Structure 1
Amino acid sequence: MDKKRIIFAILFIIVTILLGYLMYRVFFAKKTPKPPTPQTQEQLPGGQFPIIGEGGQPGQIVTGTIQLPTAGFVPPQTPALPPPPAQTPLVQKLANDIVVSPAADSFGGAKFYNAQDGKFYRLLPDGTLALLSDDVFFGVENVSWSPKTEEAIIEYPDGANIYFDFETKKQVTLPKHWENFSFSPTATKIAAKSIGLSPETRWLITADPQGNNITLVEPMGQNADKVDVNWSPNQQIVATSLTGKPMGGNREQVLMIGLHGEVFKAIIAEGQFLDSAWSKTGEKLLFSSYSTASDYKPELWISNAAGDLIGTGRKPLGLNTWAEKCTFADDRFVYCAVPKTLPTGSGFEQSLADAIEDDLYKIDTQTGIKSKLLLEEGHVIDTILVNGDTDALYFTDKNQKGIFTIAL
């Protein structure tokens, strides 16, 4: 009995161990990963390592026999830039025909006579042209414009003079022996020289623009050629005259002529007086003269020219040009066309400068500081004026047709 029990106990233990092992394999044992399929390689005799070649020197890099392709040079790509905007020329031509007697108008632009089609035009501030009238006036030599109204005195080479109102189209023929017209600042009167047949009938006169209500201001006698009719903006002066007392030292008196026989002080010109231009208020007079000191070239001067201050504050501006080539922006600043060079003696004969290009200057008459404005191409400036807003200059050229403008 004892042996049977021992045998059963041993069998029981063996069975239990086998069952336990089976359960472990099924439920707990990790599966052995399947080894990767080996690459095809040379079969070696069992138990031997593969034979390797002889190595190189330690630390030496062995260059392979297969070279990578060499890339060509690729230049850097520059991004395309848009073309620069076209620059507006500094000087622009606003009309292509022969322009006569341009003048500033009350609309901020200018007005002028077109000698090619015989019509009058207004130049608007935006640069466009508009007809002042459909009427045609052929062969006009000069135009004196009203500063306030749409009126003008039209002069012809044969001496004929016509008053014309561009609004009403009223036309009046004025005497042929009247010349050198100037409107009053209020445009209610005109001044002129009345050149009679004899010296005693030659007078400085005033009248209304249509030639009525004539007033004799001053007799001129044989000195009519020494009188310049140029009404001052403050209405004190109607003309200037070179009939003052003789002065030594190469100097000349410039007399101021009033409407009522006033005795004004004179302005002294160094050398021979040439021409003049009023400031906007009439407080100052810009003038040119020539002398031995200037090599007989025109020289610009400025002087007080109103009331008791006439003749005071006189000083040179250091530029050789004519006053008629200048225009005032206000009482302080003036713009002038100045020839780049001038021959000796050009004060005697202005035509010597007709082929000489000009520089354009802005002048501070108080400090004497001069600033040159850039002109893109050569111009020989004839008439120059500033527009009503003082932001642009208009000018004509002695050698080119049209009217030009430059922004300030």
Structure 2
Amino acid sequence: MMITLRTKRILVIVSFLISVLAIGTVLYFLFFRPLVEPLFVEEQEEIPVVTLPSSGTGTPTTITPTETTTSGLVEAEPIARGGLTETTVLTTSAVSYASLDQTKKGINFYNPEDGKFYTIDEDGNVVLLSSHQFPEAESVDWNMESDKAVIEFPDGTNIVYDFTTEQQVTLPSHWEDFQFSPVTDEIAAKSMGIDPDNRWLVITNANGTNVEAIEALGENGEKVDINWSPNDQVIAFADTSQQLTGSFDRQIILPVGKEGENFKGLTVEGFGFASLWSPNGKQLLYSVSGEYSNYEPLLWIVDATSSNMGENRRSLGLRTWIDKCTFASSTEIYCSVPQSLSANVGLQRELAKNIPDNLYKINLSTGQTSLIAIPATNTVINNPMVSADSSLLYYNNGLTGQLEFIRLR
């Protein structure tokens, strides 16, 4: 049978449709048909629920003087009890040359921003001490009653200012390193003439009269540290003696008597001698850095009256500088101690200026040294001072320059 052209066309079209359907069916089963879930699921191993154990009752951590550790989130205490302790800021900006007033209930300070002196009274009020300005004061030392101050300026000008009468006296420009007597209104200073033969340790009245030469300085001005004793016998210490044999850093420090007395020298184990008198003048607290302490600063205490100068010397074990310590009484000392120090830092103190401090208390009667406060925020405690009732410890925060305090009781 003959297939006509029309029949061929029909067959081609039918074949094409069948092919399209076949291809579509294959594509559907390969890509678009939904997956059929199995009727039975293999049983899975049960995963146990783990319950964390309760924390239980905590045991307080005892912090020894050689460690400063805290565990977990510890709330700061308002009063120093050996752990994290709150600090209170007294000034909104950096201040300098703070000193307790006569009552030891208020505190005087210098504000470098406006060049004026202020006091904070016992009620926390900031009061202007004088309307006069003292721009760029670079050194200030207060008298025992905190109503007079000797002020040095960068241009060499030196004045004594009386905040009660608002009068001032000008002292010679070649005088330096002023310090008021702890018992009178006399002032000790170094008179540094151009000629070394005209350089003296001198004493004068606060009004600049009655100047008395005490000791020739010559070329040793930088080796003499003015530190007037409460018993009015010693006015300075001189590191001018020959080095002792047997140790590279063992030194003899010579007390300079107000009346020319020849006191027995102090043997110290290191360099950088700096000292602080006890309130009764019977003992001397000092710091030195030597081989004995890996050239870190170390505190020592020694008897220092005219009859027992240099006796009963002993290390207190705290590694810090003397200007970070203060006497609360003749038997109690508070010191801020850097949380970490490296070897030789006593010879390069600048390396430790931003290291946070902890606060320690030393009881000279019992010999006990104890950690009493870890500031809740990083704090560098400089120039510490204790209030009259020993309830507050004022200080200048070395990180901010602000005046702050910690409650001791």
- Please tell me the TM-score bracket, short chain as reference: 0.7 to 0.9
Match of 1:233 in 2: 230
Please tell me whether the aligned partners of residues 174 and 191 of structure 2 are also in contact (alpha carbons under 8 angstroms).
yes
- 1:113 is displaced (CA, Å) by 0.7
1:97 aligns with 2:93: yes
- Any idea what the Cα deviations from partners look like across 1:119-176, whole Å, max 9, x if unmatched? 1111222332211111111111111101125111011123221110001111111111
Alpha-carbon separation, structure 2, partners of 1:343 and 1:102: 29
Percent identity, aligned pairs only? 41
Match of 1:119 in 2: 116
Residues 96, 401 of structure 2: 8 Å contact kept: no
Structure 1 residue runs of 4+, over 3 Å off? 86-89
Q: Partner of 1:233: helix, strand, or coil? A: coil
Is 1:148–1:187's contact at 8 Å kept on the other side of the alignment?
Answer: no
Shift of 1:90: 2.6
Given that 1:148 and 1:185 are in contact with CA atoms closer than 8 Å, whether structure 2 keeps it comes out as no
Higher RCO, Cα 8 Å, sep 6+:
2
Q: Is the 8 A contact 2:179 2:188 kept in 1?
A: yes
Q: 188, 193, 215: which one pairs with 2:190?
A: 193
Structure 1 residue aligned with 2:406: 406
Tell me which residue corresponds to 2:313.
314
**Match of 2:341?**
342
Pairing 1:107–2:103 present: yes
Q: TM-score, normalised by structure 1?
A: 0.76
**Deviations along 1:223-267, whole A, 9 cap, x unmatched?**
100101111111111111111232122311111111111011111
Q: Which residue of 2 aligns with 1:393?
A: 393
Q: Is the Cα–Cα contact under 8 Å of residues 94 and 128 in structure 1 kept in the other structure?
A: no
Whole-Å separation in 2 of the counterparts to 1:233 and 1:259: 12
Q: Are the counterparts in 1 of residues 320 and 338 from structure 2 also a CA contact under 8 Å?
A: yes
- Which residue identity lines up with residue 165 of structure 1 in the other structure? D
Indicate the residue corresponding to 1:266 in structure 2: 265
Deviation at 1:376, TM superposition (A): 1.4
- The normalised TM-score by structure 2 is 0.76
Q: How far apart, in 1, do the equivalents of 2:252 and 2:127 lie?
A: 44
Report what 2:354 is aligned to.
355
Structure 1 segment 19-98 matched on structure 2, within 5 A: 90-98=86-94
- Where does the alignment leave 5 or more consecutive residues of structure 2 unmatched? 1-75, 79-84
Q: Are 1:97 and 1:115, in contact at CA under 8 Å, matched by a contact in 2?
A: no
**1:390 Cα deviation (Å)?**
2.0
Which structure is larger by alpha-carbon Rg, 1 or 2?
1
Deviation (angstroms), 1:87: 8.1
Which AA in structure 2 matches 1:400?
Answer: T
Confirm whether residue 165 of structure 1 aligns to residue 159 of structure 2. no
Partner of 2:178: 181
Contact 1:255 1:267 in 2 (8 A): yes
Report if aligned partners of 2:100, 2:146 keep a CA contact under 8 Å in 1: no
Residue 138 (structure 1) aligns with: 135
> d(CA) in 2 for partners of 1:253 and 1:87?
44
Q: Deviations over 1:85-117 (max 9, x none)?
A: x98573100112221111122122221111112
The alignment of Structure 1 onto Structure 2 pairs a total of residues equal to: 323
Is the contact made by 2:299 and 2:315 (CA closer than 8 Å) also made in structure 1? Answer: yes
Work out the CA distance in 1 between the residues paired with 2:120 and 2:321: 26
Partners of 1:340 and 1:149 in 2: how far apart?
A: 33
2:384 corresponds to: 384
Alpha carbons 1:152, 1:164 under 8 Å: kept: yes
Alpha-carbon distance between aligned partners in 2 of 1:165 and 1:339, rounded to the nearest angstrom: 37
**Mapping 1:319-330, distance limit 5 Å:** 319-330=318-329
